[in-house]
Amino acid sequence: MKVLVAVKRVIDANVKVRVKADGTGVETTNVKMSMNPFDEIGIEEAIRLKEAGKATEVIALSAGVQQCQETLRTALAMGADRGILIQTDAELQPLAVAKLFKAVVEKEQPQLVILGKQAIDDDCNQTGQMLSTLLGWAQGTFASKLEPNGDSLTVTREVDGGLETVALKMPAVITTDLRLNEPRYASLPNIMKAKKKPIETLTPDELGVDVSPRLKTLKVVEPPPRKSGVRVSSVAELVDKLRNEAKVI
Ligand code: AMP
């Protein structure tokens, strides 16, 4: 079983995001970038499937600027076998990414495609669902457990109020939830080895995909600042404020 895993380059989860002064987006110059955390979980799951003898090859796939190579190298250092970069400076929205990934799926013929449930920069939660629809494949979203058995796949999904278990016919698209696994850190020897692993570069034109945006961002604003708190001197004062000022009791 060949497994294709999407890895997106996003602003590191620990960076405080700043909105550009002109409100057209967020500042990305001189900002630390990393692999989308849900995609680290995707790579980890694919490597575990390979270690368990259930996957034969793990391919990491990224779309975006040339620096996405670094994200692919991280995936290779974690244990992926090879990488594919669809290189473009164009702004990529989920539908365009899904169309690009469909073209790669048709070329590579994987049995399983793993994506994150959402990218932490755009919070769209769309690409996996769009890809499975374009391919006409089964989808298991928000997966917290995966068990491949032959040509089917049992997926436990995190839903409101509990866990849902579904059986999917392969080939299938999976999106990862936080509790699927805890991703490993790449060891130094594996970081060195990853430098020799191949990364193929493609372009949207080569794949015959028009990536023109369908949505226009009108403006981006910072969330309103939180009001500072007040210190109360007694429980009675706290109750009085909650009752008469906040009106919550
Ligand atoms: P989104 O629908 O934008 O929230 O993204 C969901 C998932 O799709 C991410 O966690 C990635 O696995 C994948 N994805 C979206 N955009 C890209 C991209 N440009 N490169 C690689 N993977 C992507």
Q: What would the DSSP string read from start to end of 210-235?
A: ----S-------PPPPPPPP---SSH
Q: How many residues does the chain have?
A: 249
CA separation, residue 146 to residues 37, 45, 54, 112, 160 (Å): 18, 8, 12, 11, 19
68-98 pLDDT, tens digit each: 999 999 999 999 999 999 999 999 999 999 9
Domains of the chain: 2-244 (3.40.50.620)
Q: How far is the CA of 172 from the centre of ligand 1 (A)?
A: 16
Give the pairing of strands 138-149 and 112-116.
Answer: unpaired
Q: Which atom of ligand 1 is nearest to the CA of 61?
A: 21
Q: How far is the CA of 127 from the centre of ligand 1 (A)?
A: 6
Q: Exposed (0-12), middle (13-18) or buried (19+): which is 143, by Cβ within 10 Å?
A: buried
Average pLDDT over residues 199-223: 95
64 lines ligand 1 (CB under 6 A): yes
Q: Does residue 171 have a cis peptide bond before it, meaning omega lies within 30 degrees of 0?
A: yes
pLDDT score recorded for residue 136:
98
Which residue lies with its CA nearest to atom 7 of ligand 1?
Answer: 116
134-175 pLDDT, tens digit each: 999 999 999 999 999 989 999 999 898 899 999 999 999 999
Q: In what order do the strands lie in the sheet with 199-202?
A: 162-169, 152-159, 138-149, 172-176, 112-116, 2-6, 57-64, 82-87, 199-202
**pLDDT at 246 exceeding the cut of 90:** no
Q: Give dist(CA 167, CA 244) in Å, integer.
A: 53
- Integer-rounded Cα Rg, in Å, for the chain is 21
Q: Give dist(CA 107, CA 26) in Å, integer.
A: 34
Global pTM value: 0.92
Structure tokens at 36: 């989308």
Residue 227's pLDDT band (cuts 50, 70, 90): confident
- pLDDT averaged over the chain? 95
Among 5, 10, 33, 36, name the best residue to mutate to test ligand 1's pocket (greatest count of ligand atoms within 8 A of Cβ).
36
Residues 6 or more apart whose Cβ sits within 8 Å of residue 24: 217, 219, 220
pLDDT score recorded for residue 42:
98
129 lines ligand 1 (CB under 6 A): no
Which residue lies with its CA nearest to atom 10 of ligand 1?
Answer: 116
132 lines ligand 1 (CB under 6 A): no
Q: Which atom of ligand 1 is nearest to the CA of 86?
A: 20
115 lines ligand 1 (CB under 6 A): yes
DSSP 111-140: SEEEEES--TTT----HHHHHHHHHT-EEE
68-78 helix and 37-51 helix, angle to the nearest 10 degrees: 30
Q: How far is the CA of 88 from the centre of ligand 1 (A)?
A: 15
pLDDT score recorded for residue 229:
87
